């Protein structure tokens, strides 16, 4: 056993064993693997190359000093919740005869055919850079305009668009697309020298000011943030034809909605067609549009889903013009093969389980590789199924969470897995089953860390639904003071047979201090199909609290929980859940630590909020009941609010409004503010201070 955890341990990233390589992939010729990894176990990563046949390893780039980031780049990293520094991403040209590598940065760096990386002149300040498929050109955005530059560095960058101003950009995705639909870029190359790009006009969206109160200099940043029920950015889709220099705008549905995916797919005539996914403003109808060379739009898929429809992330075009489609029409996400016109050729997967994501398609051998919950919602399998139909093959070992990357030639899988008892490891696996080699195995172990894996177990919701939870037990005999570590919101799953659950060091630290720590995935969370997630439709802050309370009460019946000493903590939706639990069940939840809570859904963004709650105009009662402000006078326990002053996602305004309501109701609260932190705190000293304050708060008021 090692010494007990310290506050410094709790505040340090990456967590033990969570420094495994990331962005694991293969070179375009499938001869080598590439990944990002910090050899010293820290956050500053390098780009590595691992030869598939010999296993020889070399560093392509890094770690080096981390360069200063522009504010635009900083905000893009917030969208992806990226903590890592050094080399944070990379990409290869998909169709180049010679390998062409690109690494973004303050100035883009490129390498052709293994030559040393060099800075590409003219790419300074590039946002969302992208290589052309043949590797000869690079597109990027600067100053709100789309540019192209030759990768050989022999010419200056060419500006393709004009007219950008405050609130009007070309080639960038809008905030809602980035934050709520995972569409991080706004321009896409075809194979024949065309670039599809977005024009985003949000000049009509009122600027929201964020003041940097903790800095020496006066600094105000403004964001075009569309609040729920208000007008969204106006997004249009155009094509720039580089050979001719012509631009044309493509027709999108006239109704209000979201352009959530754009891609170039092959067609049956060996050409390419541009496709896009469009979701209406109510988010219950998704259309897959295909644009002809003349610019006309055909609807390939028109899918209506209640209560909402999620993006078809697994969709991808195949070389013969057919395409892979994913849908939740059965209540669970599954795959089908579609003809070029969108008609279904065959269903590939079905059942009361979820296709969690598509890993890749080997078109020559007709295999689709994917991850699934077919074994259990607590696990992820790596599986494959033929495009011609048939039985599903499981390629991963039983238990744990498995993922993979597929080589372009379809011969190799980089298999990644972890479990509660085993830190992440990576193996190179031949898809024909002939070979398997270990490439990375973490040195972290439960024994070395002196930790106990949390106990996975089940609970029952009021309607009999089975809920999955994790318990971190103290060494002492029960009943114990209880701390509920809550998230509670949709599109997230916190309870899995994964190493990340074991190295939740705050939960482990608090268990060592004598608390029974509970994590529970309530109705409304992800991983179990649309019906399970849809329980919170139009009633956020209700069913989730009921489930968390029911689990605590079941622990009390078992003699494990002391119902007179129950606390709760969480961040973001978990911060909202912390306060709402204390307001709706003040008899049970006595102490709370709430980080970055949404206090009223009318102050959060359109894309997320309206998917689950509708608008304030058509669900006034749901918004009223789901608001912390409505119930502020019910606070009886001890509440610590934590918020970053420059949080551009859940604005500090949420906590400020809650403070105003608590003051009006004459209710006590405590406040911990970090003036220069955003939604994801990063400062090491600040993180340690925060963890000390959290531990002291529960020690003082609960234990």
Catalytic residues: 572, 647, 679
Q: What is the DSSP string of 259-304?
A: EEEEEEEE-TTS-EEEEEEEEETTS-EEEEEEE-TT--EEEEEEEE
Write down the number of H helices and E strands in the chain.
Answer: 13, 44
Instruction: Give Cα separations from 528 to 350, 351, 381 (angstroms).
Output: 14, 12, 14
| Separation between Cα atoms, residue 146 and residue 223, nearest integer Å | 21
> Is-contact 623 631, C-beta < 8 A?
no
What angle do helix axes 573-584 and 543-557 make, rounded to 10 degrees?
70
357: which strand partners? 371
Q: What are phi and psi of 473, to 5 degrees?
A: -100, 140
| Separation between Cα atoms, residue 603 and residue 601, nearest integer Å | 5
> Is-contact 652 645, C-beta < 8 A?
yes
Residue with tokens 């608390």: 515
Token digits of residue 481: 């003071």
Indicate the length of the chain as a whole number.
703
| Separation between Cα atoms, residue 602 and residue 202, nearest integer Å | 19
Residue with tokens 């027709």: 251
| Separation between Cα atoms, residue 59 and residue 215, nearest integer Å | 38
Token digits of residue 447: 């024994």
Instruction: Give Cα separations from 341 to 12, 257, 261, 351, 356 (angstroms).
Output: 52, 23, 18, 26, 26
3-state secondary structure of 480: strand
Burial of 456 (0-12, 13-18, 19+ CB in 10 A): middle
**How many other CB atoms sit within 10 Å of the CB of residue 389?**
12
Beta strands in 132-178, from DSSP E residues, in sequence order:
137-142, 145-150, 158-159, 168-170
Instruction: Give Cα separations from 596 to 574, 604, 648, 658, 677 (angstroms).
Output: 9, 12, 11, 11, 11
Token digits of residue 691: 């963890």
Beta strands in 313-366, from DSSP E residues, in sequence order:
316-317, 323-327, 334-338, 344-347, 355-362
Burial of 623 (0-12, 13-18, 19+ CB in 10 A): buried
Burial of 622 (0-12, 13-18, 19+ CB in 10 A): buried
């Amino acid at each position: 056993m090692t010494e007990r955890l310290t506050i410094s341990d709790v505040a340090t990233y990456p967590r033990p064993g969570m420094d495994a390589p990331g962005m694991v992939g293969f070179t375009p010729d499938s001869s080598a693997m590439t990944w990002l990894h910090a050899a010293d176990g820290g956050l500053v990563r390098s780009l590595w190359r691992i030869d598939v046949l010999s296993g020889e390893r070399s560093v392509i780039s890094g770690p080096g000093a981390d360069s200063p980031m522009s504010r635009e780049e900083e905000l893009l990293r917030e969208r992806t919740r990226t903590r890592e520094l050094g080399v944070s991403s990379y990409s290869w040209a998909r169709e180049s005869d010679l390998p062409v590598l690109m690494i973004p940065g303050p100035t883009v760096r490129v390498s052709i055919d293994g030559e040393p990386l060099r800075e590409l002149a003219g790419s300074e300040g590039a946002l969302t850079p992208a290589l052309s498929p043949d590797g000869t050109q690079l597109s990027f955005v600067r100053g709100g305009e789309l540019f192209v530059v030759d990768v050989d560095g022999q010419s200056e960058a060419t500006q393709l668009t004009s007219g950008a101003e405050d609130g009007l950009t070309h080639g960038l995705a809008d905030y809602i697309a980035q934050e709520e639909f995972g569409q991080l870029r706004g321009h896409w190359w075809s194979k024949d020298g065309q670039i599809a790009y977005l024009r985003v006009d949000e000049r009509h969206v009122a600027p929201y000011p964020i003041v940097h109160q903790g800095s020496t200099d006066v600094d105000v940043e403004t964001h075009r943030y569309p609040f729920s029920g208000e007008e969204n950015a106006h997004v249009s889709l155009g094509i720039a034809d580089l050979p001719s220099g012509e631009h044309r705008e493509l027709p999108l549905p006239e109704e209000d909605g979201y352009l959530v995916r754009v891609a170039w797919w092959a067609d049956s005539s060996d050409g390419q067609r541009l496709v896009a996914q469009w979701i209406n403003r109510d988010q219950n109808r998704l259309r897959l549009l295909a644009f002809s060379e003349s610019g006309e739009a055909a609807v390939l898929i028109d899918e209506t889903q209640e209560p909402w429809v999620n993006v078809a992330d697994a969709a991808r075009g195949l070389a013969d013009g057919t395409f892979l489609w994913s849908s939740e029409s059965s209540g669970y996400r599954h795959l089908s093969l579609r003809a070029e016109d969108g008609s279904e050729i065959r269903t590939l997967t079905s059942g009361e389980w979820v296709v969690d994501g598509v890993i890749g398609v080997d078109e020559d051998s007709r295999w689709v590789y994917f991850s699934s919950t077919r074994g259990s919602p607590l696990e992820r399998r790596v599986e494959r199924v033929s495009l011609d139909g048939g039985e599903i093959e499981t390629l991963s070992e039983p238990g744990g969470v498995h993922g993979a990357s597929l080589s372009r030639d379809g011969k190799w899988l980089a298999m990644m897995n972890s479990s509660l008892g085993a830190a992440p490891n990576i193996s190179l696996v031949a898809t024909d089953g002939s070979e398997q080699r270990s490439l990375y195995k973490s040195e972290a172990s439960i024994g070395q860390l002196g930790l106990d894996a949390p106990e996975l177990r089940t609970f029952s919701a009021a309607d009999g639904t089975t809920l999955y939870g994790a318990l971190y037990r103290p060494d002492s005999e029960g009943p114990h003071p209880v701390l509920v570590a809550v998230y509670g919101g949709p599109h997230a799953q916190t309870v899995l047979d994964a190493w990340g659950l074991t190295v939740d060091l705050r939960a482990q630290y608090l268990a060592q201090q004598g608390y029974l720590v509970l994590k529970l995935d309530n109705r409304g969370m992800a991983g179990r199909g649309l019906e399970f997630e849809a329980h919170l439709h139009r009633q956020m802050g209700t069913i989730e609290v009921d489930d968390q309370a029911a689990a605590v009460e079941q622990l009390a019946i078992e003699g494990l929980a002391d119902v007179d000493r129950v606390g709760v903590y969480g961040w973001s939706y978990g911060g909202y859940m912390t306060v709402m639990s204390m307001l709706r069940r003040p008899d049970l939840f006595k102490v709370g630590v709430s980080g970055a809570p949404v206090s009223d859904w009318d102050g959060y963004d359109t894309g997320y909020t309206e998917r689950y709650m509708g608008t304030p105009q058509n669900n006034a009662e749901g918004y009223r009941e789901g608001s912390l402000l409505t119930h502020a006078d019910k606070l009886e326990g001890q509440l610590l609010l934590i918020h970053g002053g420059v949080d551009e996602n859940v604005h500090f305004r949420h906590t400020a409004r809650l403070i105003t309501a608590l003051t009006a109701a004459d209710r006590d609260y405590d406040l911990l503010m970090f003036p220069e932190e955003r939604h994801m705190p990063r400062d090491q000293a600040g993180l340690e201070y925060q963890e000390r304050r959290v531990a002291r708060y529960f020690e003082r008021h609960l234990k």
